[in-house]
Chains A and B, each alone.
Chain A
Amino acid sequence: MTARPARLVHPLGVASGLAVVVLALTGCVANTPAGSSAATAVTVDGSDDGCVLSTTSVPSGPVTFTMTNTGSDNSEFELLADDGLRIISEKENIGPGTSGSMTVSVPAGDYYTACVPGLVGEGVRATFTVTDSGGAVEPTGSEKERIDAAAAAYVGYVKDQTGQLVAATDEFLAAYTSGDDDRARELYPTARAHYERIEPIAESFGDLDPKIDFREADVEPGTEWTGWHRIEKDLWQPSADANGGAAYVALTPAERQRFADLLTGDTADLYDEVTADDFSVGIDTIANGAVGLMDEVATGKITGEEEIWSHTDLYDFQGNLEGARVAFDGVRDIVDEEDPELATSIDDEMTSVETLLAGYGSLDSGYPAYTELTDADKKKLSDAVNALSEPLSRLTAALVS
């Protein structure tokens, strides 16, 4: 742990009223006007199952990607950060036989590109390298424009994750309804990670989250319990002792199909919501989303209450944490300008939590059941989350002040 802001040294609101001084930033801002003279051109051939770029390495600075959709369905092109989650820029809804361009100013680093035929799933991905051209990559535009760009990128991320959730849910439910319970149990936690990454956004559509993600204890009498956790209980069937004394009755194949169809439909509704033309987020939504995700961790995951049958809470924890990271990284440049000490503090504490959680595994390699953790393990995780959440709770004020 390195320097934290001594929270009492800087009374809140100090930054307010200061003139915004645009400093040299290392970040990137999407969508400078297309056709900038100095932009490096990259062409992309996006087919139904391929995504071929004219080059996978460019010098830092403005780059114009032009994708031609040679497939049979609508597609989109994305440039993602090296976490594979955060969208740097995207060009959506490129119809079959048509082309679309976007220009983005990118600093040196590792990236991913993706063509997403059919607009759902993670698409056809490849690594993409930006080398140091020696020239400074500075954001252009006013602070408002950069905030708008951050918001647009976050919307792109939400859509991307929701699209991947749709695909992952389909795969999971196919295994579940076909009776391949082992495969379903294997897919369950990683499919849910897409949801966990965007949970506060999903919760903003009031009636959907209850249908998709309610735990048994959340359901009011008279309301049917549906969604992920209903299926979780059927895949990790409890003993009578763990089920309030009553023997658990397994769902029939027909009942399985019904709950699968409901989850498919509710997830499709979520996708429709976030891909609607009028779906947008404000900078405060992004910042509050990061806070909300860590609150989810503190209240549900640290206590092992989220996944009471599967005990896959650490997967959810990782999903929430990644979502918070994406949200924070997306606004990092703006925070750096408003309150660099806060930005450093959040970054350091977030890294501490990431490192601690990485000690248990990863989404790819798997995590131990939460019940295998000792109380001391849980306290360490909880302490790290608290250490992050305190500075994170001041992010919104730093951005909107």
Chain B
Amino acid sequence: MGGTDGAGETGGAAERPGLSRRGLLGLVGTGVGAGVLGLGVGIGADRAVVAHTAGGSGAAATYPFFGPHQSGVTTAAQDRLHFAAFDVSDGTTRAELVELLKDWSYAASRLTAGLDVSPTGATGGSLAAPPDDTGEALGLPAAGLTVTIGFGPTLFTTATGVDRFGLASRRPAALIDLPHFSGDQLIEAASGGDLCVQACSDDPQVAVHAIRNLSRIAFGRASLRWSQLGFGRTSSTTRGQTTPRNLFGFKDGTANVKAEDTRAVADGVWATEGDGAAWMAGGSYLVARKIRMTIETWDRASLAEQQTVVGRDKGEGAPLSGGSEFTAPDFAAAASTGGPAIAPDSHVALAHPQNNDGATLLRRGYNFVDGNDELGRLDAGLFFICFNRDSRRQFVPIQQSLARSDRMNEYVKHVGSAIFAVPPGASENGWVGETLFA
């Protein structure tokens, strides 16, 4: 993040008194991130995606904040995550909520361009006042930062049925309250939320900087409910990325929906006007699940057991029915010892689209280790994030199937859960959520 203003801004903006946020939006949208704009074609809004298919975003990468879709969905998954769920404060009005979304959008448009949160930033303001920007990202490039904003069910109707912001009638049918899944041991304080912000970057400091500053901007209007750091992506969202491994040591996301699969993205990720809530056209639904792994137990399981649980071989990630990583699994194939090569209750079998009426998820999860528990075990696992067009047809049936009989359940425990409607991207000079409040 460059001192006060990056190269893309008109010189002297910081010194011009009375410059409004709206005035700045135009400046931010042009000139910055020019290195990647315009290169991508045919992949919807994440125009930068093709420029980075060589695997990861790279420190110099910037992704557009404005566009038909929000970045951070089909964007090539960055290496680091800071995810935050917020509750809107008691007494906050609809107008104040709108102002918060405008402020967040403005700040995010600057942060994702590698700029400080405001023109005066970390060091350009009055010596007698706290700086606008907290400063820990000074000198750091955007490192592919994306900021993705979503709305939880409770923003529309509280648990007790209160319509705080006149939004109840605007709640999309697809923004369901997630059902209880077998085995769920959810911690209330690590679940739900009125608003979410997903900050992803290849530099953890940049991701944390984004959440920290957006939290600060929200003081008095919304406060953090829970937040999660993730340190290693567990999915690839573009074909150019190598498949990463989760903390079980297995490749994760081999069969993920990739940005290049335009048909799958159109069918399974982006909501359309005809889906029920017109304001969500171009948006998606984010499901977050904090999945604790009992890795000590897993690590004592034999290689054969581990591979049977997953349904893939540990080294290559090939399905146990044979081939290499990207070979389609053959659930009918028999093992040499008799019985199916891929156990029907293996993770890959239960999660595969072929066994879920073709339902797919764009997964975008991260590994986490939150220190250790009181028993001296690593508090580790997978912070699962997926985007889908309608969780009723996609996430929920898949997760119900997994929760019911996945062999992996012996080694995992779902402790956090949330769902958010991720609205379409903001148009140039607009703000995220504009279609909802229109």
Which residue from chain B places its CB closest to the CB of A17 in the assembled complex? B17
A284 at the interface (CB under 8 A from B): yes
Does A386 lie within 8 Å of B220, measured CB to CB? yes
- Interface residues as binary, B379-405 with A (CB distance below 8 Å gives 1, 0 otherwise): 000000000000000000000000000
Q: A1-17: which have CB < 8 Å to B?
A: 1, 3-4, 6-14, 16-17
Q: How far is the CA of A394 from the CA of B118 in the complex (A)?
A: 15
Q: Which of B17, B93, B217 contacts A7 (CB 8 A)?
A: B217
Q: Which of B91, B117, B223 contacts A1 (CB 8 A)?
A: B91
Does A386 lie within 8 Å of B14, measured CB to CB? no
Does B129 lie within 8 Å of A12, measured CB to CB? yes
* A168 CB → nearest B CB, Å: 34
Does A1 lie within 8 Å of B93, measured CB to CB? yes
Does A397 lie within 8 Å of B129, measured CB to CB? yes
Q: List 6 tightest A-B contacts by C-beta distance, closest first.
A: A387-B220, A397-B129, A12-B125, A397-B128, A397-B126, A386-B219
Which has the most chain B C-beta neighbours within 10 Å: A9, A11, A382, A383?
A11
B316 at the interface (CB under 8 A from A): no
A352 at the interface (CB under 8 A from B): yes
Which residue from chain B places its CB closest to the CB of A396 in the assembled complex? B128
Q: Can you list 19 residue pairs at the A/B interface with Cβ under 8 Å?
A: A1-B92, A1-B220, A7-B132, A8-B106, A8-B118, A11-B118, A12-B126, A383-B223, A386-B220, A387-B219, A387-B221, A390-B216, A393-B129, A396-B128, A397-B125, A397-B129, A399-B128, A400-B128, A401-B126
Size category of the B interface is 20 to 34
- Interface residues as binary, B326-339 with A (CB distance below 8 Å gives 1, 0 otherwise): 00000000000000
A379 at the interface (CB under 8 A from B): yes
Does A13 lie within 8 Å of B120, measured CB to CB? yes
* B188 CB → nearest A CB, Å: 10
A349 at the interface (CB under 8 A from B): yes
Q: How far is the CA of A207 from the CA of B129 in the complex (A)?
A: 28
Q: How far is the CA of A61 from the CA of B103 in the complex (A)?
A: 44
Q: How far is the CA of A391 from the CA of B92 in the complex (A)?
A: 16
Which residue from chain A places its CB closest to the CB of B20 in the assembled complex? A9
Task: Tell me which residues across on chain B come within 8 A of A391, comparing CB atoms.
Answer: 220
Does A8 lie within 8 Å of B21, measured CB to CB? yes
Does A401 lie within 8 Å of B217, measured CB to CB? no
Q: How far is the CA of A388 from the CA of B4 in the complex (A)?
A: 26
Task: Tell me which residues across on chain A come within 8 A of B107, comparing CB atoms.
Answer: 8
Does A380 lie within 8 Å of B90, measured CB to CB? yes
* A171 CB → nearest B CB, Å: 39
Task: Tell me which residues across on chain A come within 8 A of B220, comparing CB atoms.
Answer: 1, 4, 349, 383, 386-388, 390-391
B19 at the interface (CB under 8 A from A): yes
* B331 CB → nearest A CB, Å: 48
Task: Tell me which residues across on chain A come within 8 A of B219, comparing CB atoms.
Answer: 383, 386-387, 389-390
Does B91 lie within 8 Å of A11, measured CB to CB? no
Q: How far is the CA of A393 from the CA of B21 in the complex (A)?
A: 21
A positions within 8 Å CB-CB of B: 1, 3-4, 6-14, 16-17, 284, 349, 352, 379-380, 382-383, 386-391, 393-394, 396-397, 399-401
Task: Tell me which residues across on chain B come within 8 A of A390, comparing CB atoms.
Answer: 216, 219-220
B positions within 8 Å CB-CB of A: 14, 17-21, 89-93, 96, 99, 102-103, 106-107, 117-120, 125-126, 128-130, 132, 216-217, 219-221, 223
Does B223 lie within 8 Å of A386, measured CB to CB? yes
Does B19 lie within 8 Å of A1, measured CB to CB? no
Given contacts A9-B21, A11-B125, A390-B216, contact A4 B132 (CB under 8 A): no
Does B93 lie within 8 Å of A12, measured CB to CB? no
Q: How far is the CA of A73 from the CA of B17 in the complex (A)?
A: 57
Which residue from chain A places its CB closest to the CB of B119 in the assembled complex? A11
Task: Tell me which residues across on chain B come within 8 A of A399, comparing CB atoms.
Answer: 128
Task: Tell me which residues across on chain B come within 8 A of A13, comparing CB atoms.
Answer: 17, 120, 125-126, 129
Q: How far is the CA of A272 from the CA of B106 in the complex (A)?
A: 52
Q: How far is the CA of A7 from the CA of B91 in the complex (A)?
A: 19
Given contacts A1-B89, A383-B89, A386-B219, contact A16 B126 (CB under 8 A): yes
Does B21 lie within 8 Å of A1, measured CB to CB? no
Q: How far is the CA of A11 from the CA of B91 in the complex (A)?
A: 26
Told that A11-B119, A390-B220, A397-B129 touch, could you supply 19 new A-B pairs with CB distance under 8 A? A1-B96, A4-B220, A6-B21, A6-B99, A11-B14, A11-B17, A11-B125, A13-B126, A17-B17, A383-B89, A383-B220, A386-B219, A396-B128, A396-B129, A397-B125, A397-B126, A397-B128, A400-B128, A401-B126
* A391 CB → nearest B CB, Å: 8
* B154 CB → nearest A CB, Å: 15
Task: Tell me which residues across on chain B come within 8 A of A10, comparing CB atoms.
Answer: 18
Q: How far is the CA of A378 from the CA of B18 in the complex (A)?
A: 38
Does A387 lie within 8 Å of B89, measured CB to CB? yes
Q: Which of A284, A380, A387, A388 contacts B128 (CB 8 A)?
A: A284
Which residue from chain B places its CB closest to the CB of A389 in the assembled complex? B219
Task: Tell me which residues across on chain B come within 8 A of A284, comparing CB atoms.
Answer: 128
Which residue from chain B places its CB closest to the CB of A398 in the assembled complex? B129
Does A352 lie within 8 Å of B223, measured CB to CB? no
Does B130 lie within 8 Å of A394, measured CB to CB? yes
Which residue from chain B places its CB closest to the CB of A14 in the assembled complex? B17
Q: How far is the CA of A13 from the CA of B217 in the complex (A)?
A: 18
Task: Tell me which residues across on chain A come within 8 A of B120, comparing CB atoms.
Answer: 11-13
Which residue from chain A places its CB closest to the CB of B24 in the assembled complex? A8
* B262 CB → nearest A CB, Å: 37
Which residue from chain A places its CB closest to the CB of B216 in the assembled complex? A390
Does A11 lie within 8 Å of B19, measured CB to CB? yes
* A343 CB → nearest B CB, Å: 15
Q: How far is the CA of A61 from the CA of B302 in the complex (A)?
A: 89
Does A6 lie within 8 Å of B126, measured CB to CB? no
Does B130 lie within 8 Å of A6, measured CB to CB? no
* B174 CB → nearest A CB, Å: 30
Which residue from chain B places its CB closest to the CB of A284 in the assembled complex? B128
* A383 CB → nearest B CB, Å: 4
Q: How far is the CA of A399 from the CA of B129 in the complex (A)?
A: 10
Which residue from chain A places its CB closest to the CB of B23 in the assembled complex? A9
Which has the most chain A C-beta neighbours within 10 Å: B106, B119, B129?
B129
Q: How far is the CA of A379 from the CA of B90 in the complex (A)?
A: 12
Task: Tell me which residues across on chain B come within 8 A of A396, comparing CB atoms.
Answer: 128-129
Which residue from chain A places its CB closest to the CB of B225 in the assembled complex? A379
Does B102 lie within 8 Å of A6, measured CB to CB? yes
Does A352 lie within 8 Å of B91, measured CB to CB? yes
Q: How far is the CA of A383 from the CA of B19 in the complex (A)?
A: 30
Task: Tell me which residues across on chain A come within 8 A of B126, comparing CB atoms.
Answer: 12-13, 16, 397, 401
Task: Tell me which residues across on chain A come within 8 A of B103, comparing CB atoms.
Answer: 6-8
Which residue from chain B places its CB closest to the CB of A288 in the assembled complex? B128
Does A394 lie within 8 Å of B217, measured CB to CB? no
* B115 CB → nearest A CB, Å: 12
* A297 CB → nearest B CB, Å: 14
Q: Which of A4, A8, A400 contacts B221 (CB 8 A)?
A: A4
Does B89 lie within 8 Å of A8, measured CB to CB? no
Task: Tell me which residues across on chain B come within 8 A of A400, comparing CB atoms.
Answer: 128
Does B99 lie within 8 Å of A379, measured CB to CB? no
